[in-house]
């Protein structure tokens, strides 16, 4: 099913509203929540090498844990978008357009950091 | 425009592929990238009270900065979903269903933490 | 007891060495570990207002949890200092000196962010 | 110089007091500040492999950047210890003692995660 951001955000808003949780969903609190879940996502790979982390994604339990944390990051991120009243997909597309100019294919192919290390790409 | 996650993820994958950036987009690296951007999102509200943070969202420059960081969180999160080959909207809906059971409306209305502090809701 | 950084770092190094854990203590892994523990520290205050978070520090269980996470942040930070072979106290003092110039008392008294929001102090 | 935590914390407290910054140094705000600086520390290694991150520590500019962020993590962590009125070195030593029991040398030598992945050591 190809659910739109719009519809997903509507369901998240309804979930919070039913529990009277909008009072906790301040921009600052939601930004903290995103960061906390992002750290739990990282924790799934803690002490693993890049190769072992990749291999671990073939382990069903590890994979489910990663997806679970990733979903939490998304839920709080989309809740913040709701709290700010912005259209996520429009904002993401606009950024992709800007990034296309900032990181021209020719100059950045195969490179994740600029030569002087002042800028990172790979996003 | 109500873009689907599916279509958005397709564009992100294309963006990375053109720059030969899949080599950097390991699950571990992407989880770090999500956490780094999440912290930059928090930084927009650093030292502000909840009230001042909310008020700051009426300031165009501050608001644009927050949206920009939020979008970065989403871009890396969706890139990780791509790397794992999962359908984001299905995973989010599934979690919402589980959360509906975990946090029944009656027990959790207006409360973000359980009485024994062992669990936090508000997501 | 006023233990020096130097002595504390020596004990941390010994702890890791005995378990043959230096192999995991790469600079990148340790930086992730610091960030993971820092998020757990934040989580102790999740959804609380500044006032409630302060009040919670009078609750013995909450206070112990915060101290525990804070100590984890310190342990990994000092382990990274060990891995890099730097003297922590010299580095902190040097930074305090630089900050004293960067944030002159007169200009920054009672202000945590610069007027143009381009810089944050309060550190 | 082997400065004690105690003396360092005294200087940090004085620095904040002179600027009337204690008002911003709430436990919640300081926990966010630690997390923000920890993410900046990670950013220094973003997209690098473990090996390249290690090699980068031989580059003077990169090394200075890492030390700078590490110091910021420490400054905020110690400021939080100040705000809570705890003795850092006693708390770290106490944790080391508990960890010595939790991670016996024989069982954990060369292993950073338990077999069932439910626990991570290497701290």
pLDDT in tens, A53-100: 999 999 999 999 999 999 999 999 999 999 999 988 889 999 999 999
Closest among C86, A92, D13, D93 to B88, alpha carbons compared: A92
For residue A89, the distance in angstroms to the closest alpha carbon of chain D comes to: 26
Confidence class for position D116, pLDDT limits 50, 70, 90? low
State pLDDT tens for residues D5-37: 788 888 999 999 999 999 999 999 999 999 999
pLDDT (tens digit per residue) in B25-49: 999 999 999 999 999 999 999 999 9
- Residue B120, pLDDT above cutoff 80: no
The pLDDT value given to residue A87: 87
pLDDT tens-digit series, residues D51-102: 999 999 999 999 999 999 999 999 999 999 999 999 888 899 999 999 999 9
Q: What pLDDT, in 10s, does the model give residues C25-81?
A: 999 999 999 999 999 999 999 999 999 999 999 999 999 999 999 999 999 999 999
**A120 contacts D61? CB cut-off 8 A:** no
The pLDDT score that the predictor gives to residue D44 is 96
Task: Decide: D36 and B46 in contact? Cβ < 8 Å.
Answer: yes
Task: Give the pLDDT of residue A109.
Answer: 93
pLDDT attached to residue A65: 96
Q: Which residues of D touch C25 (CB under 8 A)?
A: 122
Structure tokens at A64: 């489910």
A41 phi and psi, to 5 degrees? -65, -50
CB A4 within 8 A of CB B3: yes
Residue B79, token pair as written in the block: 């890139």
Chain D, 34 to 53: residues with Cβ < 8 Å from chain B are 35-36, 38-40, 42-43, 46-47
Q: How many CB pairs under 8 A join A and D?
A: 30
In order of A24, A86, C67, the CA distances from C60 in angstroms are 24, 41, 10
Nearest Cβ partner for D36 among B29, B33, B46: B46
* pLDDT for the residue numbered B121: 62
Chain B residues whose CB is inside 8 A of the C46 CB are 112-113, 120
Q: Does C107 touch chain A (CB under 8 A)?
A: no
Phi-psi category of A122—alpha, beta or left, where left has phi over 0 and alpha has psi -120 to 50? Answer: left
CB pairs under 8 A between C and D: 225
CA–CA separation, D64 and D59 (whole Å): 9
Q: What is the pTM of this model?
A: 0.93
Taking the Cβ of residue B6 and every Cβ of chain A, the question of whether any pair is shorter than 8 Å is answered with yes
How many residues in chain A? 123
Closest-CA distance, B122 to chain C, in angstroms, reads: 8
CA distance B26 to chain D (A): 9
Residue pointed to by tokens 């077999």: D115
Where does the pLDDT of residue A9 fall: very low under 50, low under 70, confident under 90, or very high at 90 and above?
confident
Residue A47's pLDDT is 95
Percentage of chain D modeled with pLDDT above 70: 89
Mean pLDDT computed over every residue of chain B: 89
Q: Please say if the pLDDT value at position C20 is more than 60.
A: yes
pLDDT of residue D115: 57
Average pLDDT, chain A: 89
Distance of CA B62 to the CA centre of its chain: 19
Residues C92-121 pLDDT 10s? 999 999 999 999 999 999 998 875 545 666
Per-residue confidence (pLDDT) for residue C4, from 0 to 100: 75
Under the banding of pLDDT at 50, 70 and 90, the label for residue B116 is low
Tokens of C3: 């233990």
Kindly state the average pLDDT of the residues C78-87.
92
Determine the distance from the C-alpha atom of residue B97 to the mean position of all C-alpha atoms in its chain, rounded to a whole number.
18
Banded pLDDT at D119 (limits 50, 70, 90): low
Which position has the higher pLDDT, D6 or B21? Answer: B21
pLDDT at site A120: 67
């Amino acid at each position: 099913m190809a659910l739109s951001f719009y519809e997903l955000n509507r369901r998240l808003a309804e979930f919070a509203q039913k529990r009277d949780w909008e009072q906790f969903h301040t921009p600052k609190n939601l930004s903290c929540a995103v960061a906390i879940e992002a750290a739990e996502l990282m924790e799934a790979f803690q002490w693993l090498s890049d190769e072992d982390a990749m291999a671990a994604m073939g382990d069903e339990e590890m994979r489910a844990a990663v997806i679970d944390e990733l979903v939490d990051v998304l839920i709080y991120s989309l809740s913040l978008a709701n709290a700010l009243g912005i259209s996520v997909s429009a904002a993401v597309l606009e950024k992709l357009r800007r990034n296309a100019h900032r990181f021209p294919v020719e100059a950045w192919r195969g490179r994740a950091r600029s030569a002087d290390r002042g800028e990172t790409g790979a996003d």
